[in-house]
């Protein structure tokens, strides 16, 4: 097929048969960016919140504490949707602990907003011990009021998926069940001892889970609640 050139030729180029074909330009694929928590994030007008009632013995606080943790939802409606804590408030009718409670809530809220792994707060708070001594609450030993606030934060982080509840494997469960059954058949529960915990009255305190569930069996201290053992 011939083609008539009607315009003036100003340049030309000879294309050989052996010349390599130009590689097609790959289309630019935009990598989606996902929002993460950071301290520059403005506070949304609406946050999801959960309030926990913390009732302590009267010698610790005469009034209950109400702990509110507000969360922000990131990447809502996508496969990467997550819920992260944004701020915390602690309210009580008692003004005895007002000063340090305000300071504590501001610091924790600041850590929440910085993002990253904030689960370390739980262990930091739970490691605080009251020099006057701890107390028992619902069958569990609490070293301080601050430690119990840490327990509430742990509960909340589990509910939103930031922490997982450690579960024992089937062998550990079977071992503890066997120990409980064997111990129950040999010991008689005294009437004056509380039996609501389900552990023997002679059990001692476990410093890992803070429950009175440690017994000595075959010369080895074993916790019937969490499975912690001094013999490995």
Provide the number of structural domains found in the chain.
Answer: 2
Residues 207, 154, single domain; the answer is no
Q: Which of 128, 160, 192 is the last residue of a domain?
A: 160
Q: Which of 134, 160, 186 is the last residue of a domain?
A: 160
Look at the alpha carbons of 36, 42, 48, 52 in this order and tell me if their dihedral is positive or negative: positive
Neighbours of 12 (CB within 10 A): 5
Give a yes or no: residue 32 inside a domain: no
pLDDT digits (tens, 9 = 90+) for 107-123: 999 999 999 999 999 99
Tell me the two tokens of residue 152: 């509430």
pLDDT digits (tens, 9 = 90+) for 73-103: 999 888 889 999 999 999 998 888 889 999 9
Residues 80, 129, single domain; the answer is yes
Q: Which of 136, 160, 184 is the last residue of a domain?
A: 160
Give a yes or no: residue 193 inside a domain: no
Q: What is the mean pLDDT of the chain?
A: 82
Give a yes or no: residue 96 inside a domain: yes
Residues 71, 130, single domain; the answer is yes
Residues 78, 156, single domain; the answer is yes
Range 199-203, long-range pairs (CB < 8 A, 24+ positions): 199/224, 199/225
Residues 128, 61, single domain; the answer is yes
Q: Which domain holds residue 227?
A: 200-231
Contact 122, 154 (CB under 8 A): yes
Residue 18 binned pLDDT confidence (cut-offs 50, 70, 90):
low
Residues 111, 204, single domain; the answer is no
pLDDT of res. 225: 79
Give a yes or no: residue 194 inside a domain: no
Residues 104, 208, single domain; the answer is no
Residues 53, 153, single domain; the answer is yes
Q: Whole-angstrom Cα distance, residue 158 to residue 173? A: 22
User: Does the reported pTM lie above 0.75?
Assistant: no
Asked if residue 56 has pLDDT above 50, the reply is: yes
Give a yes or no: residue 134 inside a domain: yes
Residues 81, 133, single domain; the answer is yes
Q: Whole-angstrom Cα distance, residue 72 to residue 44? A: 8
Residues 143, 209, single domain; the answer is no
């Amino acid at each position: 097929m011939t083609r008539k050139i009607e315009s003036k030729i100003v340049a030309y180029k000879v294309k050989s048969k052996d010349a390599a074909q130009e590689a097609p330009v790959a289309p630019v694929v935009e990598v989606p960016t996902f929002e993460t928590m950071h301290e520059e994030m403005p506070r949304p007008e609406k946050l999801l919140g959960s309030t926990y009632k913390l009732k302590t013995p009267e010698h610790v606080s005469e009034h209950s504490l109400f702990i509110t943790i507000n969360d922000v939802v990131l990447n809502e409606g996508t496969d990467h949707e997550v819920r992260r804590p944004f701020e915390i408030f602690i309210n009580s009718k008692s003004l005895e602990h007002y000063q340090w409670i305000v300071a504590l809530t501001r610091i924790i809220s600041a850590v929440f907003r910085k993002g990253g792994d904030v689960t370390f707060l739980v262990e930091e708070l739970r490691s605080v011990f009251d020099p006057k001594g701890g107390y028992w609450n619902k069958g569990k030993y609490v070293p301080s009021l601050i430690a119990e606030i840490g327990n509430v934060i742990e509960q909340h982080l589990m509910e939103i998926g930031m922490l997982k509840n450690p579960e024992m494997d089937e062998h550990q469960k079977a071992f503890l069940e066997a120990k409980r059954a064997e111990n129950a058949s040999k010991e008689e529960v005294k009437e004056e001892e509380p039996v609501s915990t389900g552990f023997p009255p002679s059990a001692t305190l476990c410093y890992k889970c803070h429950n009175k569930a440690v017994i000595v069996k075959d010369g080895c201290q074993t916790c019937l609640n969490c499975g912690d053992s001094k013999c490995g």
